Chains A and B, each alone.
Chain A
């Protein structure tokens, strides 16, 4: 019973982090029509910046805030330097096919990931370093027993829920959110409506960058920080987004939770080596049975 609860709680807090990553992916997808594979590279990079500040004596929260701002800036820079040139007319004329047009931003984002990882290696070397947590890592005490649930977990979950609410409200109720969705769905009509599509897209990238930095900051205490730490987190985050529906923020959270639970239970009740295969099974199941994701709405471009 205790193991079950432990698995449950671990799954929830893990799931919350995957949900954050998935949210970041959903934001870029909804705001820019691209899946950003470099996302965790951005997170890793900003977390390194935070780590550097903290080791130099600044408080955790200073590092935290700077990292999130750095993440937003990094996202904006990526859009301006790479994604904007990619989406201009000449490009679309050079590539005659739809599938190549979809593949090119993916390849570009993989390139960006490579650059970020290499840069991190050059600046900070590839040794793993630890990273502090802002809250205690011990479990709560309830009725004399120690629960497998720490105040840090609580912090993570509430932060994710908060982000989810803000994101959904932002997209549905604000003008900027509408502009972002319009830009991603049909750039031409958006332009003809007077929407500054370039600026809007950059904003999506900045917001997504901030969200992924947040995810990076939250997951790093439980593992160690190195240029490749977050690769797996990105994969699981991507799958969470696909499972929940690439165009749905709520789906991202749901997907994150599902995957968090799956991984947690497989780790606790089976063996950690089966994690990848179980993730793969979940992904394939969703892609076969419900390709647009559990909460996905429109006929997303899968074929």
Chain B
């Protein structure tokens, strides 16, 4: 069946094998909505590798502040600061934030420089589930430093149904 596109099951057996693989991959019964691909630790490592290339990422200099118990994953306040004099000679060029369990691993990239004065940024992010957050700072001397935070995400108590 050469004229059939790859996504289309061409026989009942193919269709059943496909669904079984999907259900097994999701790890849940078929009544649950399928989780989009990309939410894996490998995707996270891949995203970090894209930014740092061959360089080693060292622990330190970076502080990642997130409430340890998040009231609602839709809006999670986040602060990242990097210990740096922020001079022309020695400063933070960029801060990259990654997540582990959202549908895709990127959160934010911020470009700074000596004009910043202080390497501190704050924002609000979305977290799909309790997970590890990673912040990687790119310094002017080409080194990379990182910090991680383990966050627990709770949900609204009276589950909403109707708008």
Tell whether A pairs with B. Answer: no
Chain B residues in the interface with A (C-beta under 8 A): none
By a beta-carbon cutoff of 8 Å, the part of chain A in contact with chain B is none
